[in-house]
Amino acid sequence: MTTALITGANKGIGYETARQLAARGITVLIGARDADLGRTAADKLKAEGADAIFVQLDVTDEQSIARAADWIGTEYGVLDILVNNAAIGGFVDGDNNPSSTTLATLRRVYETNVFGVVAVTNAVLPLLRRAAAARIVNVSSEVGSIAMMTDPDSPMWPMAAIPYPSAKTALNMITAMYAKEFWDAPIKVNAANPGYTATDFNGNAGFRTPAQGAEPSVHLATLPADGPSGQLWGYHMGGDVEYGPLPW
């Protein structure tokens, strides 16, 4: 049995990630803060033939994280895949320029998008270490790429905001540091770029479907032994190839 925990899996990219992993015969643990939404998502996947189980998990609540890690350890004893998908956004201060940013917004975004990733990862690391070949996927974004955001020829150039982009930049560094720690271990750690995906997160304004947005996470979650670690990998907007490594 291969087990995968996906945070924020009750909808959007997280749900599609769970669905695609389940289609590969993987037991998917549907991490969700809201119990009703989480159970509904798990039941929907089960109706499609998936081995899906809801796990109550609020990535901003250390007790919730600890309970989830303990439950997974008791039920399965091991975790093969962790997809840190849960994230928040859409908070705009004033005109959304850096000079309008408030600390309250920064703290709220970082609590979920940065601190929550470290908290969940460290809580389940003992279970990931027991796996023959564990995979950690942090769902990031091209807006976290400093190289792309500062290139006037990049599609990212028009954006100038701090909270969400800087949180994803921090997540990219977190990914790289975990990859370094486990460089000689059978644990691969990568960041996924889903591209601009239509979900509730952005008012369904994206041009990629949730199923497409999940593809990079699924790819990184199922890497072979000779696959990369410590990369930002995923969709290339306007590139010559659809998927591949992106610059930090």
Closest CA to 209 of 19, 52, 4: 19
User: What tokens appear for 61 in the block?
Assistant: 């609540």
Q: Report helix angle 35-47 to 12-22, nearest 10.
A: 40
* Distance between CA atoms of residues 193 and 137, nearest Å: 10
Nearest to 29 by CA among 12, 42, 11: 42
Of the candidates 44, 62, 61, the one whose C-alpha atom is nearest the C-alpha of residue 53 is 44
Structure tokens belonging to residue 170 = 């921090």
Residue in 11, 76, 110, 164 annotated catalytic: 164
DSSP assigned state of 27: E
CA atoms within 13 A on the CB side of 181: 13
Told to judge if 168 belongs to the known catalytic residues of this protein, a careful annotator would answer yes
Q: How many CA atoms lie within 13 A of 59 on its CB side?
A: 30
What distances in angstroms separate CA 243 from CA 14, 193, 236, one per listed residue?
A: 19, 9, 6
The one catalytic residue in 15, 168, 178, 196 is 168
Q: Is 112 exposed, middle or buried (0-12, 13-18, 19+ CB in 10 A)?
A: buried
Contact 163, 106 (CB under 8 A): yes
Residues annotated as catalytic (active site), given as ranges: 164, 168
